[in-house]
Structures are given as structure tokens and as C-alpha cells.
């Protein structure tokens, strides 16, 4: 990727612009059922409901040459290899607000990215809040990155939503530790714990009845505040760069970034802000924004055609990043259980 901001499929950022959901988004929301309130429901019920709903939209698993369950220095993982002896690996952290998600819920995305990018994908089952608040999830992501660096030639890091937060934080730490990453793939990432930004404050009003869903904006805002408080209970710690990457003192020297955004997402503003910070710091960055889309669309292969397109865009970008990394030595070989 060349230096500067490369913006694809742009959407208008105007608070007075009517909110126009994609027709597939409107249909999906119309048939969606209520979920347990994460602020009051038992965490096991929240996780079970989220798991069921994610698996319902990811579709049948795509074939991959080799899939192996592995222990990544104490972190459970699943390694996908589309050909069987890849030298490059994308470390992937799933979404779920730091409180839910697992290797099965991200299986569809991991398989699709492995095939699209032509690289190995290491999906990690990082520790979740509230049982394991910050920095547990971040520490697990970093463990996976360092493990990957010892076992593959080139490493990229990526994730969606909360996983995008962990990926961006890991990219910052890699910069701090002098470790070169080929790229960071951030899919509608959570990057800023600040609740009263202009974009977030306006969101409940702008999205009061989005796609006929009463309180869509207010519920998004309420949930996001709860997730941050659960993941990082100490308000002071929420502004640490490895918790809120947008608050990093500097982003100079971090890995080239590919950012995928959804137009109708409460996290959209901070991802755009991060893209501008990266550009100003001379970091190559691609920003792909999907008009009409909502948070979570990236994994909805059975209901959103944009999911297939976005994975293709992401895979192509990661493939190009690895090609630019100029690997000079072979990676270690692995056995494959299945």
C-alpha cells in the first residue's frame, strides 16, 4: 500500500442526511428477534443468544485445505491454511464487544479470509470480560502475534469490532516493540472509549427510528457504554493507548492499515478519525466504507451481499500487503489434524 489515505465506496458524513439503510439491512432488521439485555441479563444467556444469531447468518463453512486446533502459548486458537504450507499469517480476533464470541462464531470469516487472502489465518479464543477485563484480551492477542512471528515469515493482525480494537492495539505494541507487521485489518473497530464525542452524542437522535427500529440509536449508545465499562472497568485506564488506540500519543510507524466501515454504525466516526490520524502520520491506509450497511455485516454471508464483497476487498488488501513484505526465509511446517 502506498502512503496516504485511499478511500473507497465513500459515504456522506452529514448529520442532516436522511438515513437510508440497504434494502437487505431493512429486511434483516425487520425479522430480527430481541436479544437479552447485556446490562441486566446473565452473561451466559447473552453469549448463547449471540452465538446462535451469528451462526445463523454465516452460512455453511467454506472448504479450507487445512484447519488445526492449536495452543498458542496458552491461548486457544484455530489455524486455517488454504494451501497447507503458507509462510504468511493473519492473526484474527473476533468481535463481540469483548464479552462474547468464540472460535466457532468466527469460523466462517476466518475461512473466507484465508481463501481470499491466500494466507494462513490464526483465529484466537481470547479471554472475555467481565471475568477477564482489560488487559486480558489484549494480552492474549499480543501473545498470538508474538507466537505467529516465531512461526511464520510475515504477520498481519486483524479483527472486527472489539477484535478490531485488539488488532489496532496489537499493532501499536508491535510498533513500540520494534516488530514489523505487514498490515492491520480493522473491520468497524472500536477505537475510542470516549462516550461524548460529537458523532456519538448525535447518534441516538439521528438513528431514533432507523429502518423502523424504535430506539435503534439510543440502544446502540447504551450498549456501547456498557461494553466499555465491562471491558475496562477503570475509567482512567480506558484512555490508555492499548485500550483506546485513538488516544495513542502517536501512531507514527504503525503497520499499514485497511479499515472497513459501515455507514450506519455508531463506531463509524472513530474509525474515520483513526484513518485521518494514520494518514497525517504518514502511515499507508485504505478506508472502505459500505453505504447503507450496519455494524456486524462483515460476517453475514447469508443475508448481506456486501459481506462477500468486503471479505474480497480485505483479502485482496492483505494479499498485497504480504507481497510487499518481501519474505526471505521459509516458515516452519505444521501437521494438520483435519
Catalytic residue ranges: 161, 265, 295
Radius of gyration over every alpha carbon of the chain, rounded to an integer in angstroms: 19
Distance CA 119, CA 245 (A): 26
Q: 181, 157 in Cβ contact below 8 A?
A: yes
Longest Cα–Cα distance of the chain, Å, equals 56
Torsions phi, psi for 111 (to 5 deg): -65, -45
Amino acid at each position: 500500500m502506498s502512503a496516504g489515505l485511499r478511500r473507497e465506496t465513500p459515504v456522506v458524513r452529514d448529520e442532516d442526511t436522511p438515513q437510508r439503510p440497504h434494502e437487505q439491512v431493512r429486511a434483516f432488521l425487520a425479522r430480527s428477534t430481541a436479544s437479552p439485555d447485556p446490562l441486566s441479563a446473565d452473561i451466559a444467556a447473552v453469549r448463547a443468544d449471540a452465538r446462535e444469531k451469528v451462526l445463523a447468518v454465516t452460512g455453511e463453512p467454506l472448504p479450507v485445505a487445512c484447519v488445526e486446533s492449536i495452543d498458542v502459548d496458552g491461548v486457544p486458537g484455530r489455524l486455517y491454511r488454504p494451501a497447507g504450507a503458507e509462510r504468511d499469517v493473519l492473526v484474527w480476533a473476533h468481535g463481540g464487544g469483548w464479552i462474547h464470541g468464540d472460535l466457532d462464531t468466527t469460523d466462517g470469516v476466518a475461512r473466507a479470509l484465508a481463501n481470499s487472502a491466500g494466507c494462513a489465518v490464526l483465529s484466537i479464543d481470547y479471554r472475555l470480560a467481565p471475568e477477564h477485563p482489560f488487559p486480558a484480551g489484549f494480552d492474549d492477542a499480543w501473545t498470538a502475534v508474538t507466537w505467529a512471528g516465531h512461526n511464520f515469515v510475515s504477520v498481519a493482525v486483524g479483527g472486527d469490532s472489539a477484535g478490531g480494537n485488539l488488532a489496532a492495539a496489537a499493532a501499536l505494541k508491535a510498533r513500540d516493540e520494534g516488530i514489523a507487521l505487514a498490515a492491520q485489518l480493522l473491520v468497524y473497530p472500536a477505537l475510542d472509549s470516549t462516550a461524548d464525542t460529537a458523532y456519538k452524542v448525535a447518534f441516538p437522535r439521528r438513528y431514533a427510528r432507523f429502518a423502523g427500529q424504535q430506539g435503534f440509536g439510543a440502544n446502540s449508545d447504551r450498549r456501547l457504554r456498557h461494553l466499555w465499562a465491562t471491558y475496562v472497568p477503570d475509567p482512567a485506564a480506558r484512555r490508555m493507548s492499548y485500550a483506546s488506540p485513538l488516544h495513542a500519543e502517536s501512531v507514527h510507524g504503525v503497520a499499514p492499515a485497511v479499515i472497513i466501515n459501515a455507514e450506519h454504525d455508531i463506531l463509524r466516526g472513530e474509525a474515520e478519525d483513526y484513518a485521518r490520524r494514520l494518514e497525517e502520520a504518514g502511515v499507508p491506509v485504505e478506508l472502505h466504507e459500505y453505504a447503507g450497511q450496519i455494524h456486524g455485516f462483515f460476517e453475514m454471508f447469508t443475508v448481506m451481499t456486501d459481506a462477500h464483497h468486503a471479505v474480497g476487498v480485505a483479502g485482496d488488501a492483505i494479499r498485497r500487503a504480504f507481497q510487499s513484505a518481501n519474505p526471505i526465509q521459509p516458515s516452519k511446517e505444521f501437521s494438520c489434524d483435519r
